[in-house]
Amino acid sequence: MSEDAIRLRSVTRRYGSDGTSVTALDEVSIAFPRGTFTAVMGPSGSGKSTLLQCAAGLDRPTSGSVTVGGTELTGLSETGLTLLRRERIGFVFQAFNLLPSLTAEQNVALPLRLAGRRPRRDRVREVLRQVGLGDRIRHRPAEMSGGQQQRVALARALITRPEVLFCDEPTGALDSRSSREVLALLRGMVEREGHTVVMVSHDPVAASCADRVVFLVDGRVHGELAGASAEDIAARMATLEVVPC
């Protein structure tokens, strides 16, 4: 089995026709090793979200290849991509995307039901306990704080035991205390469970929880930092966001 959970090779993603095309990713080659936590940062429009979408099989590159655990995504049909995302990839977004009429327990079980699988109640409750919500299983989203709702979304992503967990600004809508709680959960999943986490973020404090930070500028990888502090990450971002006069 490959040591890399995700590998991109010379990935380019263009949008639009030749005359008005925009290059969101430009010959990006990068690997995300198993059991690691990587943050992806860069100025607005740098290609962060496009990188995540291509790596997760949500979008198809214009050229290049994406491999998930040894499976090449380029040749998969739409049905094949759907099955891969459903069975091997988890997603957590800034918006919690919980169904308001369902309890926490029912929201977590939803991916399995949509896949035609019968969720085991003990497994659903186990995952909710893992994110600190064992006493909130019957609460609906309106009865929970933003941090608790994001933890339900995290439990929902974990219920299928994904190989990779993709997070797009998972703390963007949270206060500082809730952000710390969610980031601590992500860090713990890497250290204790061996999960692979790839997180897009604009927040140096959030990114400092990762093993490494990869920087994008104009659709290209522009270096990385390993084990960096929030101050070091912020300083690097400041140099990337300087606009020439």
129 assigned to some structural domain: no
200 assigned to some structural domain: yes
Q: Which positions ≥6 away from 72 have C-beta within 8 Å?
A: 65, 66
pTM of the full predicted structure?
A: 0.89
Domain count, the chain: 1
115 assigned to some structural domain: no
193 by Cβ neighbours in 10 Å (0-12 / 13-18 / 19+) ranks as: exposed
Condensed to tens digits (0 to 9), the pLDDT of residues 97-109 reads 899 999 999 999 9
Condensed to tens digits (0 to 9), the pLDDT of residues 39-83 reads 999 998 899 999 999 999 999 999 999 999 889 998 899 999 998
The domain that holds 233 is classified in CATH as 3.40.50.300
Rounded CA separation 188/195 (Å): 9
The range of the structural domain enclosing residue 193 comes to 4-95+164-240
Contact 35, 190 (CB under 8 A): yes
pLDDT the model gives residue 75? 86
